[in-house]
Structure 1
Amino acid sequence: MTFTRTLAMIAVAAICTFATRLAPFLLFNGKKPIPPIIRYLGETLPPAVIALLVVYCVKNVSWSAAPHGLPELLCIAVTALLHVWKRNNLLSIGVGTVLYMFLVQTVFL
């Protein structure tokens, strides 16, 4: 891949990222109320996406073979409890990830 092509790809990615971040401010600039459907989607989509990610993370777990999904279930519970307690996405996801890596690399070999 040429240097020019690489720069073009980076520029397109940067422009698309900037456009998607700018679009809500242009569409909903505060002068008129946010449509109810947009508010509904803003409230319901984040939990739905998290639920989808949890299902995706445990889809290949072998429930019939040892350790029977124990590290996954334990880390999901720790992540959920930590999030309910602290309400900090970065903290709960980070601790859950580090705990999972620790468990599968040291405890559940």
Structure 2
Amino acid sequence: MPSPLQILLTLLVIGAVTYALRLAPFVALRKVRDSELVDHLSRTMPLGVMAILVVYTLSTVDLTAAPHGLPEIAGVAVTAGLHLWRRNAMLSIIAGTATYMAVLALV
């Protein structure tokens, strides 16, 4: 059985390694943070990721069988329309999800 000193030293090493691993990305990216590439990616990536997620999600919708994609189309339409109108991501996500679930339950 390990002694209390061994347990303490083990916990200290685990804590130090965890702290170092969490700190490493911030230290490594300090010089890159002000580059034009990172600035460009921070502006374009969110839209690209969202487009990929929408296409991936809608690619499995069967338009030939009931409910013919109606819940998905309604959810996407409400989410997109509300976001274009209010520019509030949380409101758009909640309303789009609620619309999808309501239409899914009704058809």
The answer to whether TM tops 0.5 is yes
1:19-59 residue CA offsets vs partner (Å, 9 max, x unmatched): 38x83587348xx9711110110111000111111112212
Q: Which residue of 2 aligns with 1:91?
A: 91
CA–CA separation in structure 2 for the residues paired with 1:90 and 1:50:
14
The 5-angstrom pairing of residues 55-66 of structure 1 reads: 55-66=55-66
Aligned AA (1:67): P
Give the structure 2 partner of residue 104 of structure 1.
104
Question: What is the aligned counterpart of 1:23 among 25, 44, 59?
Answer: 25
The amino acid of 1:23's aligned partner reads: P
The size of the alignment, in residue pairs, is: 91
Q: 4+ residue runs of structure 1 moved beyond 3 angstroms?
A: 22-26
Q: Distance in 1 between matches of 2:22 and 2:87?
A: 29
Name structure 1 gaps, 5 residues minimum. 1-10
Partners of 1:98 and 1:47 in 2: CA distance: 22
SS of the residue 1:61 aligns to: coil
Q: Which amino acid aligns with 2:95?
A: V
Aligned-residue sequence identity (percent) comes to 38
